[in-house]
A and B are shown apart, each in its own frame.
Chain A
Amino acid sequence: MTTAAEPLPRNRGSVATRTWAFVRHHTLTFFGILALAYLMLPIVVVIVFSFNDPAGRYNYTWEGFTLDHWTTPFGPPFLGDAVMTSIQVALVATIVATILGTLVAMALVRYHFRGRGATNFLIFVPLTAPEIVLGASLLTLFLNLGTALGFWTIVLAHIMFCISFVVVTVRARLVGFDRHVEEAAADLGANEWVTFLRITLPLIAPGILAGALLAFSLSIDDFVITSFNSGTTTTFPLYVWSAAQRGVPAEVNVIGTMIFGVAIVLMLANVLWQYRREPKGAE
């Protein structure tokens, strides 16, 4: 549905107007491309410098091309451990947050109940609150209770902020879900459990997966909240922060690129899967 001049009898078809429309049409495109380039610029820099062969500790100027960092991405000590810790935290947090969040989303979409407004508010606030407040308040909780800061406090923190994101994502998917399919299955004799497993779950699965993917990437990426609640445990973002003070090794760029690549691939896969399941193009 473009808005180029149509051969309909309208009273605005002067050459000037149409030329102006043409220019404006392309201005928008030009701007759009420029904006996307702006968004991608740092990413390109990160990827390019992962192939750099820096002279010393600092990876700021281009010295030469090398694949060394890609062949030994875990060269720098503790980078591997930090990445492993990040992945472990993210896995646990994602699984728990996805389950809890999906349940909440289902309740919100399918039921009327008192306290709905309050629930919505409770889900909404962590989404917008500044991370520093979330992290700091959790820290005061752990400090006052005398809990040791470490892997599990990080996991708890991550689950907390991921739940809201999962709820919002799954809910968007649930809302568009046509209940009649479930009814039809029931009419055909399927019991509740079968209906849920064979009909409901597969249909909302992309939404749940999208929520899980979102939670996973948020968890891998999180710095602020983690820095408040990690004690001496190191995750990948914490490693980067600490490394920034003495020279970020190019291997960090490599890992960053890898995470980026995996996330993009997963997202594309999810989108493609959705298209296959709903060829009418529900997206």
Chain B
Amino acid sequence: MSFLHRHGWLTPYLLLAPGIAFLVLFFVVPLYYLGYTSLQEGTVQVGYTFTWAWDNYSEAFSTYQEQFIRSLQYAGIATVLALLISYPLTYWIAFRGGRWKNLLLLFIIAPFFVTYLIRTLAWQNILADDGFLVGVMQALGLVSDDGRLLATSTAVIAGITYNFLPFMALPLYVALEQIDPRLIEAAKDLYSSSTKAFLRVTLPLSAPGLIAGTLLTFIPAAGDFINAELLGTPNQAMIGNVIQSKFLEITDYGQAAALSVILMAVILLMIAIYTRILGTERMTG
């Protein structure tokens, strides 16, 4: 006991030790192994050997550029769409929700509780070629008579947007909810226009939530493969599909790992830039 009296500085480290050790063992170390595997060559038949196989990377870059770019594109569009939908929605709940705030918030979180796969399969059903939705859109002229919604980029992007919407909405809500409405009132007094008050006061104050939401949406979306698999054609294949197939079906571990490393590197770069700008406390606080 007196040990800690004299060495009180140890306490935080002791508290951290088990959790951090676990993360180091099962998050950091695997990343090392990912890199290690990415430099291996071989197949199941002959075994895998570590040979500093940098051509795994060069091949990955050249062969799958299209899928990489597509992943970033889809994720980007989905993030923007999620933002466009979430912002007004969370604004509405935060400022007009009143007593019903938490209930309405529940609606945003609710989809999260239905298994990801089941919700995406439901979209397969909803967007079916001769289903109700397509019929309505054809009647409205939004979809051509021999067109379809399923198995298109539209469906994939829509799926990604839907599935990651809560990740955009929740941080936004938290940020908006913390804004003191009296500030907005005051702004309206000063600027005599709701729009200006919004632009000059609300928007900047919600920035941290906006940025957190963007990050939390874009990054996982870039690595997604389920939406592309269930709602798209091979022309919509994202880098996640390639990685999944190479690991689990083709068992070309070297190249699969190289692709994962590239994806992770791009993402770490983005996170590093963001945290530089904002500081990690804001992110996780």
A and B touch in the complex (CB under 8 A): yes
Chain A residues packing against B (C-beta within 8 Å): 1-3, 10-12, 21, 24-25, 28-29, 31-32, 35-36, 38-43, 45-46, 49, 60, 99-101, 103-104, 106-108, 110-111, 113, 117, 119-134, 136-141, 143-144, 156-157, 159-160, 163-164, 167-168, 171-172, 175, 217, 220-221, 223-224, 227-228, 236-237, 240-241, 244, 248, 252-253, 256-257, 259-260, 263-264, 267-268, 271, 283
* Min CB gap A101→B, angstroms: 6
Tally of contact residues, B, Cβ under 8 A: 94
Q: Given A43-B119, A124-B283, A136-B260, 5 more contacts at CB 8 Å? A: A99-B18, A111-B15, A136-B34, A140-B37, A224-B225
- Establish whether residues B192 and A140, one from each chain, have CB atoms under 8 Å apart when the complex forms: no
Minimal Cβ-Cβ distance residue in B for A120: B280
- Establish whether residues B271 and A138, one from each chain, have CB atoms under 8 Å apart when the complex forms: no
Bound CA–CA A223/B118 (angstroms): 11
Minimal Cβ-Cβ distance residue in A for B246: A136
| B95 contact set on A, CB distance < 8 A | 1, 3
Which of A126, A133, A257 has a CB less than 8 Å from the CB of B223?
A133
Chain B stretch 107-161: residues in CB contact (< 8 A) with chain A = 107-119, 121-123, 125-126, 128
* Min CB gap A182→B, angstroms: 15
- Establish whether residues A256 and B115, one from each chain, have CB atoms under 8 Å apart when the complex forms: yes
- Establish whether residues A223 and B18, one from each chain, have CB atoms under 8 Å apart when the complex forms: no
Bound CA–CA A220/B113 (angstroms): 9
Interface status of B247 (Cβ within 8 A of chain A)? yes
- Establish whether residues B194 and A3, one from each chain, have CB atoms under 8 Å apart when the complex forms: yes
A237-B110 contact in complex given A128-B216, A133-B223, A224-B226, C-beta closer than 8 Å: no
- Establish whether residues B220 and A244, one from each chain, have CB atoms under 8 Å apart when the complex forms: no
B8-46 vs A, CB cutoff 8 Å, 1 = contact: the mask equals: 010111011011101110111111011011000000000
- Establish whether residues B89 and A140, one from each chain, have CB atoms under 8 Å apart when the complex forms: no
Closest 10 CB pairs of A and B: A130-B223, A32-B92, A137-B30, A111-B12, A42-B122, A100-B19, A107-B15, A263-B113, A104-B19, A141-B30
Bound CA–CA A56/B193 (angstroms): 60
A119-B16 contact in complex given A36-B107, A140-B257, A241-B117, C-beta closer than 8 Å: yes
A113-B285 contact in complex given A2-B96, A122-B20, A156-B26, C-beta closer than 8 Å: no
Chain B stretch 218-274: residues in CB contact (< 8 A) with chain A = 219-220, 222-226, 230, 240, 243-244, 247-248, 253, 256-257, 260, 263-264, 267-268, 271
- Establish whether residues B284 and A42, one from each chain, have CB atoms under 8 Å apart when the complex forms: no
Bound CA–CA A3/B192 (angstroms): 12
Bound CA–CA A164/B108 (angstroms): 21
- Establish whether residues A43 and B31, one from each chain, have CB atoms under 8 Å apart when the complex forms: no
- Establish whether residues B264 and A129, one from each chain, have CB atoms under 8 Å apart when the complex forms: yes
* Min CB gap A69→B, angstroms: 14
Could you list some 11 contacts between A and B, CB below 8 A?
A: A29-B96, A35-B89, A39-B111, A113-B12, A124-B284, A126-B27, A128-B215, A136-B34, A227-B248, A240-B117, A244-B121
Bound CA–CA A111/B11 (angstroms): 9
- Establish whether residues B26 and A138, one from each chain, have CB atoms under 8 Å apart when the complex forms: yes
- Establish whether residues B107 and A141, one from each chain, have CB atoms under 8 Å apart when the complex forms: no
Interface centre among A42, A99, A141 (most CB of B within 10 A): A42
| B111 contact set on A, CB distance < 8 A | 39-40, 42-43
| B11 contact set on A, CB distance < 8 A | 107, 111
- Establish whether residues B189 and A10, one from each chain, have CB atoms under 8 Å apart when the complex forms: yes
- Establish whether residues B16 and A49, one from each chain, have CB atoms under 8 Å apart when the complex forms: no
| B27 contact set on A, CB distance < 8 A | 122, 125-126, 134, 137, 160
- Establish whether residues A103 and B16, one from each chain, have CB atoms under 8 Å apart when the complex forms: yes
- Establish whether residues A3 and B188, one from each chain, have CB atoms under 8 Å apart when the complex forms: yes
A236-B115 contact in complex given A36-B89, A141-B30, C-beta closer than 8 Å: yes
Minimal Cβ-Cβ distance residue in B for A283: B102
Which of B23, B89, B192 has a CB less than 8 Å from the CB of A12?
B192
